[in-house]
Amino acid sequence: MRVKVAIGLIVVLLALGGVGFAVEANQKYHGLGFSVDIDSTIKIISKSPIGDFEIYDFYDDERLLFNAYSGNHPSFPFSEKTTAPVKVNINGFDAECYESVDVKKNHSKECLIELKNDFPAVVHLWYIELSQADKIKADTIINSIERSDVKK
C-alpha cells in the first residue's frame, strides 16, 4: 500500500512538471549552481522545461513563499520599472534588487544575483505581495544563498 501511494505521488509530481520534497529542519537545499538554508516547513518544486535552466517554487506549508530561476538568461526585471535597481551584496554576491510595499503593507521583491560561474551565471529570485512575516522568512532563505556544485 505504501509503495502504491509513493508511486502515485511521484506520478502526480511529474505530471505537474516538477519534483517536490520537504527537507528536514535547518538543512541545505541544493539547486542548479546554488544552495540555500531551509527549515522543515519549506517544500520546493523544481522544473527544468528545456534543460538549460531550472525554476523553483518555494512553499511554506501550502503558501507560495517565493520563486527562483537559475541559468544564464533571466527575464530581469519582469516588467518595466520606474526606478533603477538597488545594488546590494547578498551573502558575498553582487546583486540588483527591486523592492516595494503596497498600500496593504504587502511586500514584493525581485533580485538578480551574480554567481560568478560560467553556468549557471545568475539566480533570479522574486516574491509578490508577502506579509511582513513571510517577507522575513523569504529574505532569510534568500540571504543564505551560496554557490554549489551539488544537486539533489
pLDDT, tens digit, for every residue of 104-141? Answer: 999 999 999 999 888 999 999 999 999 999 999 999 99
pLDDT digits 0-9 by tens, 24-67: 458 999 999 999 999 999 999 999 888 789 999 999 999 999 99
Could you list the residue range(s) of the whole structural domain that residue 32 is in? Answer: 20-147
In a domain, 37, yes or no: yes
In a domain, 9, yes or no: no
Neighbours of 56 (CB within 10 A): 21
In a domain, 10, yes or no: no
| In the predicted structure, residue 10 carries a pLDDT above the cut 90 | no
Residue in the structure block whose three cell numbers are 539547486 = 31
In a domain, 11, yes or no: no
| Sequence-separated (6 or more) residues with CB below 8 Å from residue 2 | none
In a domain, 28, yes or no: yes
- CATH number reported for the structural domain that contains residue 37 in this entry: 3.40.1000
State the pairing for strand pair 122-130/63-71.
Answer: antiparallel
Q: Which residues pair with 113 in a beta bridge?
A: 95, 123
**pLDDT score of 25:** 56
In a domain, 91, yes or no: yes
**pLDDT score of 12:** 30
In a domain, 93, yes or no: yes
Identity (one letter) of the amino acid at 120? P
Higher pLDDT, 22 or 95: 95
Residue in the structure block whose three cell numbers are 551574480 = 114
Could you give the number of structural domains in the chain? 1
In a domain, 76, yes or no: yes
pTM (2 decimals)?
0.80
